[in-house]
Structure 1
Amino acid sequence: MSSQPPLFRDPWAKREAWRKHPVFSNRAMFSSMFPGLGIAVVAFTAYVVVDTFYAKSHSQGHGH
């Protein structure tokens, strides 16, 4: 006779395994909520910087 305790297995473990998959983590859910937000923020920032410098260079040249 073996002295090991009885092994209890969850019969639903395979059906619940998808909940622990990395695709369903909070970080993955948040990043997929706004897929193009990072690129849009960088593009808008670059636009504002270029527009600001362009407007300053043209306003100094005209004397207004």
Structure 2
Amino acid sequence: MVTPPPIYRDPWAKRDAWRKHPVFSKRAMFSKMFPGFGVAVVAFTTYVVIDNYYLQPKHESHH
């Protein structure tokens, strides 16, 4: 036996459909809040590592 569809219909369903689109998900909104932040973190970390380990002057021991 097939159940009949509900009698009521939401007249605003098509106009509300954009809210469920993946572009408007919470994750997408949060990632767009700070554009370029991930790239900046990687660039700064690389700079700090290079500065601390490769560009330090060699300490000569004087005996």
Give the TM-score normalised by structure 2: 0.79
Q: Cα deviations across residues 2-57 of structure 1 (Å, max 9, x unaligned)?
A: x83653211000010111011110000000011100000000000000000112xx
1:37 is aligned to 37
Q: Partner amino acid for 1:23? A: V
Pick the structure with more helix per residue.
1
Unaligned runs of 5+ residues in structure 1 are: none
Percent sequence identity over aligned pairs: 64
Match of 1:24 in 2: 24
- Compute the RMSD of aligned alpha carbons: 2.2
| In structure 1, distance between residues paired with 2:51 and 2:5 | 73
What residue ranges of structure 2 are gaps of 5+ in the alignment? none
